[in-house]
Copies of this chain bind each other. A is one copy, B any other.
Amino acid sequence: MNRQIYLDANAWCPPLPQAKEAILKALDIVGNPSSPHRFGRQARAMMDASRLQCAEVTGFSEQEVYFTSGVSESSRWVIDALDNLGRSLNRRLTVVTSALEHPSMRKRLAQATELDIYFISISKSGVLELPDALSQADALLLSGAHNETGLIWPWEAILSKVKPDCIVYMDAAQSFSRISLPLERVDALSLSGQKIGGIAGAGLLNLRNNALKLQPPWPGPGQEKGVRPGTEPFVAIHALAAAISQIHSTRTAYQHIEGIKDQVEAHLSGLFDDLDILLQEQQRLPNTTAITFPSVDGSALRMKLDRLGLAVGFGSACSGLAPEPSPGLLALGLTEQEAQSTVRISLPPTLSEADFNEICHRFDQL
């Protein structure tokens, strides 16, 4: 059987050695960071150090950094809080998002009762449409980049249209470890440990400026200054902090991988006349490409790639087991069949030239 080649970094990345070290160290911490005694104070001091690292790297202050279980929870927090804000103001809020958002954002927004939702859209040929409502938006909820195609949203252009008091929330799950982001105008920022070299179970929700209008929607004990109840997942938190402190070298590694991505795309374009590299002309993440094979049946494509030992993604990983076509790809204007026959290749930063040759060799057999 072929050695499996892992090409699904947007679903999962290996923890960094620094994160593993931090985990081992965290396992020796005695005490709950909320306890009033000396053990508690030591555990708290380590939490404060991790919070400071996260603050420095994201450009927020320590007081603006809160730990959650990850982006799914952080996005729910923001949307719950917006729904509550609309209710307390007794008016419907105008919210702008995109049709390409992760299900953690999209599905919670679909159940919001106090929000009028407008969509930024982009077609597969790259035509961006901003809704008129953007200039009146109470909140903008958008990812840094699309997890399937790697599209980097034109944040500067979008932000130039919003009101000064618009609450700007960025889900940076897929983008933070790969590119430098324009965070100055961002009021609320979320990311997940496992996407930046830590482990699943801890993430950030940073809140400042306009986001201070939002009230914590989850009542409970007083951890994280009342913003997020529940014993802090401190092993995963320390892994997150250790990983975020390596962000510059992680981003550099992803920049280097862009050349391999371009070569893979060129090789595949040479093999198949009719394939479509989605949003190829747009700014995209250096490691991500979504490729439609219109003449190949989706489920046959999955099986073939699996047999060839190429571990790629179909849709976002969280929904990877679902047989439905990706809503994000349909929103780009793909047919159901095209969406089913689209592969997400997301290269891990550790990939080598030798791996590249092997990948090409296997695709040759498709």
Contacts and interface: CB of A to CB of B under 8 A. Distances in A.
A30 B71 CA distance: 21
A328 to B, nearest CB: 12
B233 A200 contact: yes
Contact of A72 (B11, B14, B220, B235): B220
A229 B72 contact: yes
A234 B37 CA distance: 31
A31 B10 CA distance: 10
A132 to B, nearest CB: 28
Given A69-B201, A231-B72, A30 B11 contact: no
A236 interface: yes
Interface string A228-252: 0111111110000000000000000
Contacts of A234: 200
Contacts of A40: 8, 11, 311, 317, 320
Contacts of A34: 11, 317-321
Interface in A309-336: 309, 311-314, 316-322
A230 B43 CA distance: 26
Interface in A174-228: 192, 194, 199-202, 218-223
Interface string A42-61: 01000000000000000000
A247 to B, nearest CB: 19
A258 B223 CA distance: 31
Interface stretch (A88-96, A105-113, A150-158, A265-273): A105-113
Interface residues of A, number: 69
A311 B37 contact: yes
A37 B312 contact: yes
A363 B14 CA distance: 49
B222 A108 contact: no
Contacts of A321: 34, 36, 222
Interface of A: 4, 6, 8, 11-12, 14-15, 20, 23, 27, 30-32, 34-40, 43, 69-73, 76, 102-104, 107-108, 110-111, 192, 194, 199-202, 218-223, 229-236, 302, 305-306, 309, 311-314, 316-322
Given A6-B31, A36-B313, A72-B230, 15 more contacts: A6-B30, A11-B32, A12-B39, A35-B313, A40-B317, A72-B231, A76-B218, A102-B221, A103-B222, A111-B219, A192-B231, A200-B235, A223-B318, A229-B318, A236-B236
